A and B are shown apart, each in its own frame.
Chain A
């Protein structure tokens, strides 16, 4: 975040030195884009705040203690699709699951869908991509994540 602010401030300064008008125009574009997306964004935050009340970060381990590894993989892919967390929370969590002997295949399904599939961010995504393409992208990403998980499982010797 601090880097982001520093870089932004630096670039604005440089841009301002070279061309004042272009810089104002850039800021105008920025504020227009921000206002355009603000309502869907708040809507998304409302959705997130409610859904994540029921799905807290630690609760994933309660759902993936079945005997069947494929079922666990599928469930953790679903949880990853719904969840929303930054990397600095997600990966320590993954590391903790690993220490609890959760298989890499299951963890991979979780982290991959976490990154690629966003059910809760859909209200914002559809503004940009359109509902249909956003839906296609999420569904395909879900399957890509499952393929990644399965190959992870094979190469770690957990299945086959």
Chain B
């Protein structure tokens, strides 16, 4: 309850500040407001679509399919799929989180879910092509060759550590 009041207060103060800045022509406030709008358009716009895709995933994909390929007994191939899935995720890394939640709920094991999140942040394919064209292929290959094994290693350790600790990925407080 207290948390709610604080949140509402912060939101109210912020938006009063921004709207006030526009009326009083206060440049700092206007610039912050502009930032808000820019990132809201950039990120918030795509999320309804991402969530619709996730909704479709949840109703159509069978739990057994995910369990078989990404679950406890999936072995090395599971990590391969996780990296591939991460690589083809588009948008900012945040998009990967609700997807990770759905995968986890459908029976993917933790180490694979963390690998997926890592892969979605470092090896998205469209971004990679862009990177290589500006920085050269060598730069990109080094980044891949170093970060992917480390991400998998870290995910396995974190997965082992959290399994049996009642840890779960959630999608609300």
Please give the residue numbers on chain A whose beta carbons come within 8 Å of chain B beta carbons, in ascending order.
1, 3-5, 7-8, 11-12, 15, 22-23, 25-31, 33-34, 36-37, 39, 41-43, 45-46, 48-50, 52-53, 84, 86-88, 91-92, 94-95, 98, 104, 107-108, 111-112, 115-116, 118, 121, 124-125, 127-130, 133, 136-137, 140-141, 144-145, 147-148, 151-152, 155-156
Q: What 0/1 pattern do residues 15 to 55 of B give for CB contact below 8 A with A?
A: 00000000000001001110110011011111111111111
Across the interface, A108 reaches (CB within 8 A) one of B42, B101, B134, B139, namely B139
- List chain B residues, Cβ under 8 A from A50: 32, 35
Across the interface, A107 reaches (CB within 8 A) one of B54, B59, B135, namely B135
The complex places the Cα of A115 from the Cα of B92 at a distance, in Å, of 8
The complex places the Cα of A1 from the Cα of B151 at a distance, in Å, of 28
The complex places the Cα of A94 from the Cα of B140 at a distance, in Å, of 12
B139 touches A128 (CB 8 A): no
B130 touches A121 (CB 8 A): no
The complex places the Cα of A36 from the Cα of B32 at a distance, in Å, of 25
A53 touches B35 (CB 8 A): yes
Across the interface, A15 reaches (CB within 8 A) one of B60, B97, B143, namely B60
B59 touches A4 (CB 8 A): no
The complex places the Cα of A64 from the Cα of B151 at a distance, in Å, of 27
- List chain A residues, Cβ under 8 A from B53: 7-8, 11
- Total number of B residues with any Cβ neighbor in A under 8 Å: 69
A29 touches B58 (CB 8 A): yes
Closest to B145 in A: A151
A152 touches B134 (CB 8 A): no
Q: List 7 A-B contacts (CB under 8 A).
A: A1-B46, A5-B49, A33-B171, A87-B126, A115-B121, A116-B93, A140-B154
Among B55, B97, B100, find the residue whose CB has the most chain A CB atoms closer than 10 A: B55
Asked if A41 meets B56 with Cβ closer than 8 Å, knowing A48-B39, A151-B142, the reply is no
Judge whether B73 is part of the interface by a CB distance below 8 angstroms: no
Min distance, Cβ B51 to any Cβ of chain A, angstroms: 4
Asked if A133 meets B167 with Cβ closer than 8 Å, knowing A5-B49, A53-B31, A91-B131, the reply is yes
Query: Dominant SS at the B interface?
Result: helix
- List chain A residues, Cβ under 8 A from B91: 4
- List chain B residues, Cβ under 8 A from A95: 134-135
Asked if A144 meets B114 with Cβ closer than 8 Å, knowing A127-B170, A130-B170, the reply is no
- List chain B residues, Cβ under 8 A from A48: 35-36, 39
Known: A15-B56, A15-B59, A91-B127. 7 other contacts (CB 8 A): A26-B52, A30-B54, A46-B36, A53-B32, A108-B143, A121-B94, A124-B97
Judge whether B118 is part of the interface by a CB distance below 8 angstroms: yes
Judge whether B62 is part of the interface by a CB distance below 8 angstroms: no
A30 touches B122 (CB 8 A): no
Min distance, Cβ B159 to any Cβ of chain A, angstroms: 11
Question: 4 tightest CB-CB pairs across the interface, nearest first?
Answer: A26-B55, A30-B55, A95-B134, A49-B36
